[in-house]
Amino acid sequence: MTEQPNTFEDPALLIVDMQNDFVHPKGAYGRAGQAAETISALPARLKQMANTVRTAGGWIVSTHFTLVPGKLGEPFISEHLRARRPFLGKGDFTPGSFGHDLIDEFQPADLKVEKVAFSAFYQSRMDWMLRQAGIETLIFGGIVTNGGVASTARDAHVRDYDVVILKDGCAAFSQEAHDATIGSLATIARIASTYEIIKEF
């Protein structure tokens, strides 16, 4: 298959935290009844974007929120996270587990990045990996808009990546939080729909 020319400079689709423990009904959030319709709708909406990027020779990069296991497998959970998500516990978001992995709709990713904070750049090897791959443009999709997406996008901007936010390819637990965050990100990123970006490949 020949690679098609596109208008983006060495692009990657950055799929933020679309993990089984967040999205799958049998994952940590699904078992706790923490699903959101806006998030559940993302896989179908982003799948064509992922296929388009692959066909054009771009990269699929996935970030993976991680609860690092300590003694006896008990995870290190920050106090603020424990207060907000008391249902999280042993086995959730554990490296190598079903819950930690990227959902099937986007498999396989070319690069996978473990993260322990909102931003995937924080204390991770992501910047090094992206530079090694020659990636210059990051097209953001995933969850949540006002958490991992926004924090990682801002950190990408200060590292001189070209940042594109898919306004219909990201979601939050409330539409209000999503809309407010998309508005604020317009100062550091191009905001566009998946349809608009697919047309440019």
pTM, entire model = 0.94
Task: Give pLDDT, residue 9.
Answer: 83
Distance CA 29, CA 21 (A): 6
Q: How many CB atoms lie within 10 A of CB 101?
A: 19
In this predicted model, what pLDDT tens digit does every residue of 49-87 receive, in sequence order? 999 999 999 999 999 999 999 999 999 999 999 999 999
User: Nearest to residue 140, comparing CAs of 194, 196, 199, 195?
Assistant: 194
CA 60 and chain centroid, separation:
11
- 176-185 long-range contacts (CB < 8 A, ≥24 apart) are 177/144, 177/145, 177/146, 178/38, 178/145, 178/146, 180/146, 181/145, 181/146, 181/149, 181/150, 182/145, 184/150, 185/150, 185/153, 185/154
Q: What single letter denotes the amino acid at residue 166?
A: L
Give, for 112, the enclosing helix (H) or strand (E).
Answer: strand 111-115
The segments of the chain whose pLDDT lies below 50 read: 1-5
Q: How many CB atoms lie within 10 A of CB 119?
A: 21
Q: Which CATH class, in words, describes the domain spanning 11-199?
A: alpha beta
User: Nearest to residue 173, comparing CAs of 25, 42, 31?
Assistant: 42
Give, for 132, the enclosing helix (H) or strand (E).
Answer: helix 126-133
Task: Give pLDDT, residue 6.
Answer: 59
Task: Give pLDDT, residue 2.
Answer: 41
